[in-house]
Amino acid sequence: MTQSITPPGLIGLLTPAPPSLVAALPSAPVDRQEIYYQADATNGVIWHLRYRSASASSFKWEFIGGRPMIASVATREGGVIGTTYGALTTAGPSITVPLAGDYIVRLGATVELDTATGVGAMSFDVGVTGAVDADSLWGLGPNIRTDGSPGPQRNLRTDIEKTGLTASTALVSKYKRVVASAAFFSDRRMWLIPNRVG
């Protein structure tokens, strides 16, 4: 009977230690170091990050796994709202950026418009910078039910790339209508997906 013996010098090399769970990025990272970053402890959001020193970006922790931060407001609200971006009665959804970096902000909503030429938009403030059309989800004209009445445009979704976001910046959803018609929003959602952070 033969017995396999691992040389002492190889112990620990065969089964590398798993990444550490951290609440802050390491102050002295090394190339290819991996961590689990606790982005949202309340909701159990953990991001798997790997450090790449050769990255041309100042944000060298690259996202390799995990789920996005998510915020939602189910309430159907709107009506004859303003033609500039503003909050609905139930504000949000909103997410606070946990780390400086480059992200994808995903918006989702069901939009109802009461005329064929109606337009409703959902965007978001970036800290003190107001919502803009370039960062928006659009509902254009109503779906038509079988009885000819307007119907909702369900589960609209768009992704917006935002680079150079600062840690602790609040992303807060805002809404507007574009023509003289009513615009209602429900099942409003925001996701925050990291690309690279630092």
**Model confidence over 31-85: pLDDT tens digits?**
999 999 999 999 999 999 999 999 999 999 999 999 999 999 999 999 888 889 9
Asked if residues 149 and 94 have their Cβ atoms less than 8 Å apart, the reply is no
Domains along the chain with CATH numbers: 68-197 (2.60.120.1340)
User: Could you tell me the pTM of the whole model?
Assistant: 0.85
Predicted confidence (pLDDT) at residue 182 exceeds the cutoff of 60: yes
pLDDT at 12: 53
pLDDT bin (cut points 50, 70, 90) of residue 139 is confident
- For the chain, give the mean pLDDT: 88
Distance CA 62, CA 111 (A): 35
Distance CA 179, CA 119 (A): 6
Lowest mean pLDDT among 56-60, 97-101, 159-163, 182-186: 182-186
pLDDT at 148: 52
Asked if residues 74 and 66 have their Cβ atoms less than 8 Å apart, the reply is no
